[in-house]
Amino acid sequence: MLLPDIRDYNDLRRAFAWRIPSRFNIAAACVDAWAAREPDRPAILDATGGGLQVTSYGKIAHRAGRLASALAVRGVARGDRVAILLPQSADVVSAHMAAYKLGAIVLPLAALFGVDALEYRLSDSGARAVITDAAGVAKLRAMTDRPPALEVIVSSDGDDGDALGLERLIKDAASEAPTLDTSSEDPALMIYTSGTTGLAKGALHAHRVLPGHLPGVQWPHDFFPQAGDLMWTPADWAWAGGLLNILLPSLFFGVPVVAHRAPRFDAEQAFGLMERVRVRNAFVPPTALRMLRSVERPRARFALDLRTMASGGESLGAEVFAWGQQELGMTINEFYGQTECNLVLASCAAGGVSRAGAIGKQVPGHDVAIIREDGSVCAPGEQGQIAVRRPDPVMFLGYWNRPEATATKFIGDWMTTGDQGYADADGYVFFVGRDDDVITSSGYRIGPGEIEDCLLRHPAVAIAAAVGKPDALRTEIVRAFIVLRQGFAASEALAADIQAYVRTRLSAHEYPREITFVDELPMTTTGKIIRRLLRDRP
């Protein structure tokens, strides 16, 4: 289930074969195995606050075992949903592993979720327990209706009303619970879709989701792991990108992960962190990368030791790709996936797969294609929907309590993504946009990514989003929402200059006929622009 060290892409695809074990448990593979062999091996390096607190595999295994025992005494059993609402920390890992040991299903929840979002997910999932902190306990208290199945609340900040203190639970536990022998097909994890449209749905994954991700992590991180690798992401570990692309695979490989808690992403602080901790591998979502672009001469100002940088979640774009090469001296490897089926397309500069503007190619072991509405495969250059063929070890088991929604996700054996794209003659896949985001103007179908990428090349633009606005003559016109760089002020003259810039570089039907300057763009907790909210603006 690991990539062989073959640098030719075609040879690598031919040589790779899945070998997913029939019995597999994420806790056993990620923590128990290392704790037995090298208990003092560093697992989490917490860099919050300027220091560096190291937590070993042995300590995590000990805490996870005792927490699992304490949860079991309080009725948490196999198949129960255990929510984890914590920012990046070693406690997140202990909580995950405790639940996996019991055969429970982990429900990761982003610390930035508001009360309504949490109440919906806890109620919809029927969560039996939640492991959180004082901020999370306050949100639980603010709920209009406490989720009916929720019986156990644990707080890392100590006893708080009916919330039990995490440290006391671990200290008072009678023993360390053993890890349940689970099938690789047993449910382990449920991540709610980011909900850019409609209500979020719980995508249920089996324990095999971890071994299924390993090649997809190795590929965009240039045959990860290598000696001295050290992983960091600003993405919340509750998101599939932070959890399945970074945290769990790194722990499996024995690579330490940097934890860092900050109220919001700050580009200067991010570069400072990577310099101070000597980060070797980073996953930075495109929105955060565009913010990093605002920092002038980063290599001159920061002594970086980066070996790889990967990005995914939205289209990276040729402009940010070029910035990485020019300003960081490295190729940013892009990857693609969904909560339901993650990390199936990727670039790998070390493997010779890298092209500006492209996501990459199929990660070895995955069958991905651009398909038409009838399920037939598109010709090179023909736009269609990105789809993944089942069976696939990273593919979800289904949506929680939504069999109809699960069924409509498929056309035959193709799992549809709702993302439009096309593949060129060399097999590189290019992302066009979500089905709902594609703009229809004067008979043309326009993907927002190309427009946004062009906008970013304008010296005044920091971040941009393009959406369609209804128009009686053209069906839709392109409307751009723009956050300006420091030193630039919104004006009609600047808007006209930006419009002319795009028109001369793309085409007359693609330039934004309306420009709205904003202080910030609406984002999901995973850093994706919520274009639906922008389309609804007057």
pLDDT for 217 beyond 60: yes
Lowest average pLDDT, out of 238-252, 323-337, 378-392, 445-459, goes to 445-459
The whole-angstrom separation of Cα 123 and Cα 199 is: 13
pLDDT for 423 beyond 90: yes
Instruction: Enumerate the domain spans of the chain.
Output: 52-207, 437-535
Reported as a single tens digit per residue, the pLDDT across 93-106 is 999 999 999 999 99
pLDDT higher for 511 or 138? 138
Could you identify the residue written with the tokens 């405790």? Answer: 98
Is residue 10 a contact partner of residue 28, using CB atoms and an 8 Å limit? Answer: no
Residue 7 pLDDT class (50, 70, 90 cuts): very high
Strand order from edge to edge, sheet including 514-517: 461-471, 475-484, 514-517
Reported as a single tens digit per residue, the pLDDT across 191-208 is 998 644 457 899 999 999
**C-alpha count within 13 angstroms, C-beta hemisphere, residue 179:** 23
Q: Angle at which helices 90-102 and 57-73 pack, to 10 degrees?
A: 50
Helix (H) or strand (E) holding 349: none
Q: How many CB atoms lie within 10 A of CB 179?
A: 23
Q: Are strands 42-46 and 53-56 parallel, antiparallel or unpaired?
A: antiparallel
Predicted confidence at residue 50, as pLDDT, reads 87
* Tokens standing for residue 94: 């202990």
CA distances from 458 to 148, 158, 294, 329, 462 (A): 52, 50, 13, 22, 9
Homologous superfamily assigned to 52-207: ANL, N-terminal domain (3.40.50.12780)
pLDDT for 396 beyond 60: yes
pLDDT for 363 beyond 60: yes
* Of 448, 453, 452, nearest in space to 438 by CA: 448
Predicted confidence at residue 443, as pLDDT, reads 59
Residues 6+ apart with CB under 8 A from 497: 458, 460
Highest mean pLDDT among 382-391, 450-459, 525-534: 382-391
- Give pTM, 2 decimals: 0.86
Is residue 462 a contact partner of residue 323, using CB atoms and an 8 Å limit? Answer: no
The whole-angstrom separation of Cα 32 and Cα 252 is: 10
Taking residues 168-188, what's their average pLDDT? Answer: 97
Q: How many CB atoms lie within 10 A of CB 493?
A: 8
Terminal Cα-to-Cα distance of the chain (whole angstroms): 51
CA distances from 479 to 311, 465, 475 (A): 26, 8, 13
DSSP annotation of 178 reads P
Lowest average pLDDT, out of 156-170, 281-295, 381-395, 465-479, goes to 465-479
* Tokens standing for residue 166: 């995490």
How far from the centroid of its chain's Cα atoms is residue 206's Cα? 18
Residue 536 pLDDT class (50, 70, 90 cuts): confident
The whole-angstrom separation of Cα 32 and Cα 62 is: 9
Residues paired with 516 in a beta bridge: 481
pLDDT higher for 448 or 310? 310
* Of 95, 88, 340, nearest in space to 206 by CA: 340
Could you identify the residue written with the tokens 């639940």? Answer: 99
Three-state secondary structure call for residue 412? coil
Predicted confidence at residue 366, as pLDDT, reads 98
Predicted confidence at residue 442, as pLDDT, reads 62
Predicted confidence at residue 198, as pLDDT, reads 55
Q: Angle at which helices 448-456 and 492-505 pack, to 10 degrees?
A: 120
Burial class (CB in 10 A: 0-12, 13-18, 19+), 403: exposed
* Of 338, 287, 337, 327, nearest in space to 527 by CA: 287
∠ Cα 236 241 242 (to 5°): 40
| The CATH number, out of the four listed (3.10.310.30, 3.40.640.10, 3.30.300.30, 3.30.56.10), of the domain defined by the range 437-535 | 3.30.300.30
The whole-angstrom separation of Cα 161 and Cα 176 is: 26
Lowest average pLDDT, out of 38-47, 340-349, 496-505, goes to 496-505
How far from the centroid of its chain's Cα atoms is residue 65's Cα? 28
Reported as a single tens digit per residue, the pLDDT across 16-57 is 999 999 999 999 999 999 999 999 999 999 999 989 999 999
Reported as a single tens digit per residue, the pLDDT across 71-130 is 999 999 999 999 999 999 999 999 999 999 999 999 999 888 888 889 989 999 999 999
Predicted confidence at residue 196, as pLDDT, reads 45
The whole-angstrom separation of Cα 215 and Cα 131 is: 31
> Mind giving me the DSSP string for 359-416?
-BEEPTT--EEEE-TTSPBPPTT--EEEEEESP-TTB-SEETT-HHHHHHTEETTEEE
